Amino acid sequence: MSMQRARVARRIAAAAAYGGGGAGLLGGAALGLLLTEVALARRVVGGHNEAPPHADGRYGSAFVHRLGREPLLLGVLGDSTAAGQGVHRPRQTPGALLASGLAAVAERPVELRNVALPGAQSYDLERQVAQILAGPDRVPDVCVIMIGANDVTHRVPYARSVRLLSEAVRRLRGAGCEVVVGTCPDLGTIEPVYQPLRWLARRLSRQLAAAQTIGVLEAGGRTVSLGDLLGPEFAANPRELFGPDNYHPSAEGYATAAMAVLPTLCAALGLWPEDERPDAARREGILPVARAAAEAAAEGGTEVTPTGRGRWALLKRRRRRRLPVPADVAPGPQPSTEGY
């Protein structure tokens, strides 16, 4: 299955590079069944229109006088998962968790700026990148992007989705910003979703995640798979890891995802040991990009990093670091979800 996923992911990425729209992965009958099941699932899944907490601000203030250095600037872009929809406290959002964790590792304050918008598809990344680069502060030191779930549910052609994400990563990298992308989560874990939609959703979301990985690496970014991470752990503990709407993660679910992203976030800034010798015991290795992308899509928390050697990538399974609990940030203006 991973080899087949690798071939399809490479084909999607190639179509994205050459401006193709990308052929659909499902036939007409299967697509009709999928859309019927999606409509039924949406009736079961609770409402999720409440705006996420506003968590922008400074984290790690205890370090402000220690080194006398200006704060690191962390940008967060993407959809409702990046925004933290489904929780009620700023400190429970993935942006706050990552900013607090990054501050603890760097022993340096971190300024968080989150422009993610619930309901966003990859089409919205161009606007979000412009917004984050036009902010009152300097260009972010590093940006985290979480995107893809709405592309799957709204049938955005995969090649177009990957191309839009790649362009966003390339633009941020060109501005001097490191980029870490949390690839499309496994939509087959949503509790009210039944077969055959569950199988189809898992297949489609993992295929997009693999193709995203190829596009991001070619644009100079790094990826962390959120797919399987939000799979067995979420499936085994749906009451703990899903929020009240049974769709978005709970506070514990966001912490699980943030713990997986944090090591790669720190490594991108040179704050994490970069041992280029893969650990065979952890099934790490330097693999063809498409194969590394396919393997990562099937196992959450797996990082894929460019090696600078053509179509080869380093696949790593970094050990997760326990996240410090951030203090709440004074609430600011809430983002609008109108039209999404």
Which among 75, 81, 70 is positioned nearest to 113, based on CA atoms?
75
Which among 236, 230, 231, 239 is positioned nearest to 257, based on CA atoms?
230
The per-residue pLDDT for 239 is 47
- Say if residue 340's pLDDT is above 80: no
The per-residue pLDDT for 36 is 57
Lowest pLDDT segment from 33-42, 51-60, 148-157, 192-201: 33-42
Strand 285-288 and strand 222-224: the pairing is unpaired
The domain spans of the chain are 2-44+55-316
How does pLDDT run across 28-50, given as a tens digit for each residue? 555 555 555 555 555 554 445 67
The per-residue pLDDT for 51 is 83
Lowest pLDDT segment from 29-33, 166-170, 184-188, 328-332: 328-332
Tell me the three state secondary structure of residue 42: helix
pLDDT bin (cut points 50, 70, 90) of residue 26 is very low
How does pLDDT run across 225-241, given as a tens digit for each residue? 887 555 444 455 544 44
Mean pLDDT for the stretch of residues 268-277: 75
The per-residue pLDDT for 334 is 37
Active site residues: 80, 245, 248
Look up the CATH number of domain 2-44+55-316. Answer: 3.40.50.1110
Q: Which residues of 87-114 are buried (b: 16+ CB within 10 A; e: fewer)?
A: beebbbbbbbbbbbbbbbbbebbbbbbb
**pTM attached to this predicted model:** 0.82
* DSSP conformational letter for 242: B
Lowest pLDDT segment from 11-15, 19-23, 145-149: 19-23
- CA atoms of 24 and 158, how far apart (whole Å): 8
How does pLDDT run across 103-156, given as a tens digit for each residue? 999 989 999 999 999 889 999 999 999 999 997 778 999 999 999 988 887 888
Q: Cβ contacts of residue 296 below 8 Å, gap of 6+?
A: 183, 209, 210, 213, 223, 225, 302, 303, 304, 315
Q: What are residue 180's DSSP bridge partners?
A: 144, 222
